Amino acid sequence: MNFKECAKEIEKDIIKWRRDLHQIPEIGLDLPQTSDYVQMRLKEMRIEYKTLVNGSAIVALIGEKNQGKTIALRADMDALPIKEETSVPYSSKNGNMHACGHDAHTAMLLGAAKILKDNEHLLKGTVKLLFQPGEEGFAGAKHMIEEGALESPKVDNIVGLHIGAPSKGVPDGKVIVNYGKTMTCLDKFYLKIKGIGAHGAYPELGVDPVTISAQVIGALQCIVSREKGGPEPAIITVGKINGGTAFNIIPEFIEMEGTARFVDQELREQAAKRIGEISTGIAKAMRGDCEYEYEFGYPPLVNSKEITEKFIKSAQKIVGSENIIEMERPIMGGEDMAFFLQEVPGTFFFLASSEYDSEGNFISSHNPKFNIAEDVLHIGTALFVQTVFDFLNM
């Protein structure tokens, strides 16, 4: 069966679903309108499902419930707190925006649901569809796992996708995938550098937390440049600094927040320790003090090499081997699909779709002008379906 043709036949439906969802973007773990919309479509397809995470997450089942293996397909559904600035007639009006393509992910999975249900009699196993809230910083995948999304029946493998290429210049419709380490962790740290307030003209009477903070920021970069060996990518960034009330007053404290990104778990844990040691050590050496908190967020996303190899064989049937690109290095962004992949072997891939403004500038995700190339949506649906049949029927 040619699943790319099957997906092309329902392309108008997939685009409509995506545009409908684009108009009702919701944030975090509370997606009442989005979840209701998806449930309505599943009911129309006569697909069995249940809800989790206070009704916002959906787990749907297709196929032989007690026979063969179970493969899960995952799509995130939440949006971002961004005011949309596109000119499309289906733009959102509620102050939120699908600026990361999750509306497209959901629509592509609905398309896969329709084709799989129509061909349910050919499946030799079970397909579990995971419609997930809260990817954007709320660890929705973790919540779904805790509520049993991967059980009853137990999931053997899982596949997910993200629309948009990891870097600009990749033609639309290309499939980008990586064996093994694919995306970094998404960790956060907080520092409060404490000093003693004083007049700016008499710094010797106080302890300057601004000067201490400057030393700390520079020293933290040595963790990556001087303490990390090997080719594994890593980043430590201080992105927020607050302190002071006037130009001529040495403040009592400075607060800083930053992010740490690693693909290696051992290095991740080492860096969490060293950030605290370095910051506290410098503060004390300069007569100050330091409060330190480190938040382990999303783990590194690691694809199963075996499952990725199988997926690539399926993808070749849809897009051809010439349209599959192996990533040169992991992406420095985080993704909570990593929680699912910690529990179940699987793979996470990218489907290229680019948007440029009138001057030819690339528009990335999380931008108020972000949009997608809708003519690739049926490809994502076909990739899901082909993968399911190849995994269950081999």
Q: Could you report the per-residue pLDDT of 9-42, keeping only the tens digit for each?
A: 999 999 999 999 999 999 999 999 999 999 999 9
Q: Give the C-alpha separation, 380 to 372, whole Å.
A: 13
Q: What is the identity of the amino acid at 308?
A: T
What proportion of the chain, given as a percentage, has pLDDT over 90?
A: 93
Q: Identify the pLDDT of residue 169.
A: 86
Q: What is the mean pLDDT of residues 367-387?
A: 98
Q: Identify the pLDDT of residue 166.
A: 82
198 and 206 in contact (C-beta within 8 Å)?
A: yes
15-24, 159-168, 240-249, range with the lowest pLDDT: 159-168
Give the dihedral of Cα atoms 359, 360, 361, 365; nearest 10 deg: 120
Q: For the chain, which domains are there? A: 3-183+300-393 (3.40.630.10), 186-298 (3.30.70.360)
Q: What is the DSSP letter of 47?
A: -
The answer on pLDDT for 307 being more than 80 is yes
Q: Identify the pLDDT of residue 168.
A: 83
User: Is pTM beyond 0.75 here?
Assistant: yes
Tens digits of residue pLDDT in 346-375: 999 999 998 888 788 889 999 999 999 999
Taking all residues of the chain, what is their mean pLDDT, rounded to a whole number?
97
Q: Which of 189, 187, 196, 188 is nearest to 254 (CA)?
A: 196
